[in-house]
């Protein structure tokens, strides 16, 4: 007598965890073959007579049957799961940073529409990839969304590893060489920084400092590049003493502001590479008795929730982060469905939102 022939109720004896109903139980109860149960559940590939269909559906209800994803996944080679790899220098920031948070929000919302699940894997840039590779090769994932923060050889190594696994993949934040065939959804950091800086110039500022982000991050570099380009276009000199910080840590702004203040010709405006940096600058300046925006104008980048909670609210560059998540999700799903178009690259526009600090 095989396990499957044990009566279901009998197996539900107290003490042991109840055995779950399988499609065979359903088949027996409905008086059909296991195949038909599958046809009914999946609406194919064969059609079923309405009457049998009804009986099967009823049996499913009665037995409270739920298909086992492991078994189904093993059979059809699908897991209904996509992974999110956040490859950062401070990997556990995935959750802490409002930046990835917004992306994850978009991703999750879109995936759950198609009953897909999200598996999050923080990875440290340059860390040993073996554990990750084991995971990817274990067949647990149908697709992948990878957030890249820089273009070093460590990143290429990661991408190469991923591509050898053959898992469909969409990249976020950094573009990726076409040879990988990965598709990406990006954001126009450079244009945003250009717009922010230009805005300050238009407001009459001539000494505009830049609180740059951690220079290991490509987005920090792009934002700085946009800043420099704007100065140049507007015929302003770029005083190296005006670019400071080079860290994402808000507390690093303290030292940066001190040196800026010590300048013979201190800045009248600041363009910060992130809202958190901008926020700290505002706090510090205000504590030093300066009025925002009159004594010091400040523009941030990202438009995190805090930007609207500050007083005055922060003028900043808004990134459609949730949209990035949505699009990335739709693209992986597209790749999984063999839609070649999904492997394209797309860069989303950002927009300056004028509020109270500049």
Instruction: Check binding of 49 to DNA (CB under 7 A).
Output: yes
Which of its own copies, DNA, none has residue 34 at its interface (CB below 5 to 8 Å by kind)? DNA
Which of its own copies, DNA, none has residue 119 at its interface (CB below 5 to 8 Å by kind)? its own copies
Q: How far is CA 114 from the centre of its chain?
A: 18
Q: Check if the beta carbon of residue 223 is closer than 8 Å to that of residue 273.
A: yes
CB of 113 to DNA, least distance (A): 20
Which of 7, 14, 16, 51 touches DNA by CB under 7 A? 51
Which of 76, 251, 264, 287 touches DNA by CB under 7 A? 76
Question: Which residue ranges make up the site for its own copies (CB under 8 A)?
Answer: 17-18, 20, 66-71, 73-74, 79, 81, 92, 95-96, 98, 100-102, 104-105, 108-109, 112, 115, 117-122, 131, 133-135, 137-140, 166, 250-251, 276, 279-280, 283-284, 286-287, 305-306, 308-312
Size of the site for DNA (CB under 7 A): 37
| Neighbour-count burial for 241-261, b at 16+ CB within 10 Å, e otherwise | ebbbbbbbebebbeebbeebe
Which of its own copies, DNA, none has residue 105 at its interface (CB below 5 to 8 Å by kind)? its own copies
Whole-angstrom Cα distance, residue 123 to residue 132?
8
Smaller CB distance to DNA: residue 20 or 354?
A: 20
Beta bridge partners of 88: 124
Whole-angstrom Cα distance, residue 75 to residue 86?
30
Q: How far is CA 292 from the centre of its chain?
A: 33
Which of DNA, its own copies, none has residue 81 at its interface (CB below 5 to 8 Å by kind)? its own copies
Smaller CB distance to its own copies: residue 103 or 243?
A: 103
Which of 71, 92, 156, 233 touches DNA by CB under 7 A? 71
- For the chain, helix, strand, coil in percent to 5 are 50, 15, 35
Instruction: Check binding of 34 to DNA (CB under 7 A).
Output: yes
Which of 24, 229, 234, 290 touches DNA by CB under 7 A? 24
Whole-angstrom Cα distance, residue 82 to residue 73?
13
Smaller CB distance to its own copies: residue 122 or 334?
A: 122
Nearest to 110 by CA among 343, 346, 331, 342: 331
- Strand intervals (E) in the chain: 81-88, 117-124, 143-148, 169-172, 184-187, 208-212, 243-245, 269-272, 297-299, 316-318, 345-348, 351-353
Return the structure tokens found at 354.
């004028």
Smaller CB distance to DNA: residue 71 or 156?
A: 71
CB of 47 to its own copies, least distance (A): 24
CB of 297 to its own copies, least distance (A): 17
Whole-angstrom Cα distance, residue 92 to residue 200?
35
Residues that bind DNA (CB under 7 A): 2-4, 19-20, 22-24, 31-39, 41-42, 44-49, 51-53, 65-68, 71-72, 74-76
């Amino acid at each position: 007598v095989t396990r499957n022939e044990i009566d279901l109720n009998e197996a539900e004896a107290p003490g042991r965890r109840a055995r779950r109903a399988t499609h065979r139980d359903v088949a027996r109860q409905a008086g059909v073959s296991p195949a038909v149960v599958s046809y009914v559940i999946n609406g194919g590939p064969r059609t079923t007579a309405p009457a049998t269909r009804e009986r099967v559906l009823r049996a499913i209800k009665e037995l409270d049957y739920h298909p086992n994803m492991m078994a189904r996944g093993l059979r059809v080679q699908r897991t209904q799961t996509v992974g999110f790899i956040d490859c950062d220098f401070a990997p556990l920031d995935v959750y802490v940073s409002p930046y990835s948070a917004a992306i994850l929000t978009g991703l999750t919302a879109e995936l759950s529409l198609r009953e897909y699940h999200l598996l999050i894997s923080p990875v440290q840039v340059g860390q040993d990839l073996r554990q990750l590779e084991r995971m990817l090769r274990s067949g647990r994932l149908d697709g992948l969304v990878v957030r890249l923060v820089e273009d070093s050889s460590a990143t290429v190594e990661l991408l190469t590893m991923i591509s050898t696994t053959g898992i469909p993949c969409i990249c976020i934040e950094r573009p990726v060489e076409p040879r990988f065939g990965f598709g990406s959804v990006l954001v126009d950091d450079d244009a945003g920084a250009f717009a922010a800086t230009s805005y300050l110039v238009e407001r009459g500022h001539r000494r505009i400092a830049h609180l740059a982000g951690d220079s290991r991050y490509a987005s920090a570099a792009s934002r700085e590049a946009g800043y420099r380009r704007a100065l140049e276009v507007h015929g302003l000199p770029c005083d190296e003493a005006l670019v400071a910080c080079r860290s994402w840590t808000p507390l690093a702004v303290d030292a940066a502001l001190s040196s800026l203040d010590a300048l013979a010709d201190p800045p009248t405006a600041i363009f910060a590479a992130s809202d958190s940096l901008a926020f700290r600058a505002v706090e510090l300046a205000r504590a030093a008795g300066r009025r925002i925006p009159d004594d010091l104008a400040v523009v941030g980048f990202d438009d995190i929730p805090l930007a609207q909670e500050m007083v005055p609210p922060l003028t900043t560059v808004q990134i459609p982060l949730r949209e990035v998540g949505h699009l990335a999700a739709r693209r992986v799903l597209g790749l999984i469905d063999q839609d070649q178009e999904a492997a394209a690259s797309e860069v989303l526009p950002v927009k300056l939102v004028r509020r109270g600090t500049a």
